[in-house]
A and B are shown apart, each in its own frame.
Chain A
Amino acid sequence: AQSVTQLGSHVSVSEGALVLLRCNYSSSVPPYLFWYVQYPNQGLQLLLKYTSAATLVKGINGFEAEFKKSETSFHLTKPSAHMSDAAEYFCAVSVYNQGGKLIFGQGTELSVKP
């Protein structure tokens, strides 16, 4: 069975500081991995996805994530936080033989201090 663990339910950074949101996955087959962002009272928006091509994936709004098979990790980073990055972030795994359904982590709420 696939699962996702996000370390830290809340992360707080200062504006301009590095953002690092941690995600570890468990999958018996090569996974497809995703990061989604959810702004208050809105649906989920895809930030980026890993689908077995390049291990360093670049997404929208300056975010990127690196797939590390040896560490079963897919951490999300952004060099410099902006106030508008404050939101909840979800890591998810999808496996090809399960129709594309997503298994989500518990989410990490990112706060950005001025």
Chain B
Amino acid sequence: GAGVSQSPSNKVTEKGKDVELRCDPISGHTALYWYRQSLGQGLEFLIYFQGNSAPDKSGLPSDRFSAERTGGSVSTLTIQRTQQEDSAVYLCASSLGWNTEAFFGQGTRLTVV
């Protein structure tokens, strides 16, 4: 695609529900990253994919968070049993490799009520 696409752009969910956030990277980009942006914490790394494997999951805040990537393309970030502290903007980025520019999507704004 022309750019990194994320859906939905906004999501409001009730505490305790599960949510799925989708990222469609730029075609041909093998590296995919998820970040979280919140007022108190700034921009935090969550997880990195190279192809379909995730060599670095060190930023996932708890076992309620998981992500997968299929076909070396689309990625889904799943948050189970959402909590209010999960409210944030979730950003996805993709790149051709570790030393190349990462292109960011517009983000998904998640609000847990």
- Do the beta carbons of A49 and B101 come within 8 Å of each other? yes
Chain A residues, CB < 8 A from B50? 99
A12 to B93, CA, bound (A): 29
Q: Name the contact of B42 in the complex, choosing from A49, A51, A96, A107 (C-beta under 8 A).
A: A107
Cβ of B107 under 8 Å from chain A: yes
Known: A44-B104, A49-B101, A107-B43. 19 other contacts (CB 8 A): A32-B99, A42-B106, A43-B4, A43-B106, A46-B101, A46-B102, A51-B99, A92-B43, A94-B99, A98-B56, A99-B48, A99-B55, A100-B48, A100-B97, A102-B102, A103-B45, A105-B42, A106-B42, A107-B42
- A98 closest partner in B (C-beta): B56
- Do the beta carbons of A100 and B4 come within 8 Å of each other? no
A96 to B98, CA, bound (A): 6
The number of residues on chain B lying at the interface, defined by a beta carbon within 8 Å of a beta carbon of chain A, is: 27
Within the complex, the shortest CB–CB distance from B94 to chain A, in Å, comes to 10
Provide the main secondary structure of the chain B interface.
strand
Q: Which residues of A are at the interface with B, using a C-beta cutoff of 8 A?
A: 32, 36, 41-46, 49, 51, 90, 92, 94, 96, 98-107
